[in-house]
Structures are given as structure tokens and as C-alpha cells.
Structure 1
Amino acid sequence: MKSSRRSFLITSIGVATTVALSKQAFAADATKVSESDAMAVTLGYKNDATKVDKAKFAKYVAGENCHNCALFQGKATDAFAPCPMFGGKQVSGKGWCNGYNKKA
């Protein structure tokens, strides 16, 4: 009975490790939004918020970026994270788009 329990634990640890590594690999390979994507063009997305066309997107205010947007699905320190505005594709934390919504 002890060997069955030991085998189960070893197998469980192996499976958990494989799943964790797979998630990391998937996150690393996640598609990043390109400024030339149709939705990015429509929303005025820029990888660097300081390069937003202020004449075209008057809503933009200096200091706004994806890091402090409520839609940014990562930590404030993440360079890139998913955004629902772009179907879960990764946006730059330093980026901005017209869908910006300040975090509460």
C-alpha cells in the first residue's frame, strides 16, 4: 500500500510540474498586439503611450498607460499582459488605446 501511495504522489508531482511549465510556455508565447492590427488601428493602440496621436485621440492624458488601466490583466510590473479589448492578446504595459479605463 505504501508503494501505491508513493507512486501516486510522484506521479501527481510530475503532472503538476508539467502543467505549470506548460502554462509558463503558453504565456511566453502568447500573441502580442501589433500596432498594425485592425483593432489596434481603430483604438489608436500604441506600444508606447507617449507616441499617441493627441490630435486624433484627444481623450489621451499624459501618464495614462496599460499598467494603470482596469482592463490590463497583469501585474503593474508586467511588461506585457492580456487585454480583453484585443481578444486576450498581450499589450505593452507602457502602451495605450482609446479603450483606456483608469483603475479604481
Structure 2
Amino acid sequence: MSSSNRRAFLMTVAAGSSALAATQRIALAADAVLQDTDPQAVALGYNQDTSKIDQKKYPKHTTAQHCSDCQLFTAMGTAPTGHCQLFPGKLVHTNGWCSAWTKKA
């Protein structure tokens, strides 16, 4: 391989790696925290704070139920938010709750 071909190859690899890293950062930045006022959140009775759930409307809810204990939740290390299968592209609070809450197995 000539030195000009090697140089071109290395520049292409460097540019590709940079583009991949930028794409991953953009994908992470795209995940916004789910707001209680989001239409899907309202439909499922989601609140960022499980202690603020209306007990009359959701009588089976207890304050011991949190998103972090739900089967649909995927934690992000020690972050106060994580991903929920019901809200793709949004982050939910670990201390949140919605009517689809299902205890982790």
C-alpha cells in the first residue's frame, strides 16, 4: 500500500469514527424527559412522582410502586431517569409511576 493510499484510508476511518460518535451523541440528546402533560402520559396516569398519584382514580397504586421497579423500565446506571417501553424516545423518572406499572419478575 502506498503512503498516499494509507493516508486516505486513515482519514476515511477517522472521519467515519467521528460521524458515528456524533450520531450517538445526537441520539442520546434526542431522549427528552417525559412530562406529566404529554398526551400519552396523561392517558396512562403517569406522574414523575409516585406520591402525587390520585389514589381515588388509581386505587391499586401504592407509594411503594416506582418506575424503577417496573418490568417495562430500563435503568441507565445511577441516573434519575431511564427508558420505558411504553414511551419510546422519552425518559421517565425512576420515582415515577403510571397505570401500566407491572412489578419486575
> What's the TM-score, normalizing by structure 2?
0.76
Partners in 2 of 1:6 and 1:64 — Cα distance? Answer: 57
Looking at CA atoms only, which structure, 1 or 2, has the larger radius of gyration? 2
1:54 equivalent in alignment to 2:55: yes
Name the amino acid aligned to 2:95: K
Distance in 1 separating the partners of 2:36 and 2:12: 44
Unaligned ranges ≥5, structure 2: none
Aligned length in residues: 104
**Between structures 1 and 2, the one with greater helix share:** 1
Shift of 1:93: 1.8
Q: Please, what is the CA RMSD of the aligned residues? A: 2.2
Match for residue 97 of structure 1? Answer: 98
1:70 to 1:5, Cα distance in 2 relative to 1, 3 A: farther
SS at match of 1:50: helix
Contact 1:59 1:98 in 2 (8 A): no
**What is the percent sequence identity of the aligned residues?**
35
**8 A contact 2:30–2:89 mirrored in 1:** no
Unaligned runs of 5+ in 1: none
- SS of 2:33's equivalent in the other structure is coil
Task: Give the TM-score normalised by the residue count of structure 1.
Answer: 0.77
Offset, 1:49: 1.3
Structure 1 stretches of 4+ with a deviation exceeding 3 A read 2-7
2:28 maps to: 27
